[in-house]
Amino acid sequence: MHTIRSNWVAYAMPVIAATAFVACSPSERQEVSSNASQAAQTVRSEASRAMENTEKVVDDAALTAKVKSTLLADSQVKGTQIDVDSNNGVVTLHGSVATASEKARAEQLAQNVEGVRSVRNNLAAQ
């Protein structure tokens, strides 16, 4: 959907510029051409930035899911008691666990998941 919208705008800009050329003097045509080029560049930059942001959100969501799955699969950790958030490869663990060793185990498991750069362990040991 995003690509279709970006492509539409990218194709519309030259049409708008060509239409403006027909009715303008040479100096006005130069200004219109320059403005159209700047607008097209802005559209490309914004589309690229939006795509990068979308990829980041998807990567963070996938990382969160991998860490959560790892915690749920481990018999020494109660993964249902742990909330996981991810941002640019930094995983944050929230919640309560029964012991300090369970807290440490959760951190170790999270750290060993591919794509995790670091872990912020905010778990509370009861």
Q: What percent of the chain has pLDDT over 70?
A: 74
Higher-pLDDT residue of 59, 8: 59
Instruction: Give the per-residue pLDDT at 43.
Output: 77
Higher-pLDDT residue of 26, 60: 60
Higher-pLDDT residue of 90, 32: 90
**SS (HEC) of 17-72:** HHHHHHCCCHHHHHHHHHHHHHHHHHHHHHHHHHHHHHHHHHHHHHHHHHHHHHHH
Report pLDDT digits (tens) over 65-80.
999 999 999 999 999 9
Give the side-chain half-sphere CA count within 13 A for 80: 1
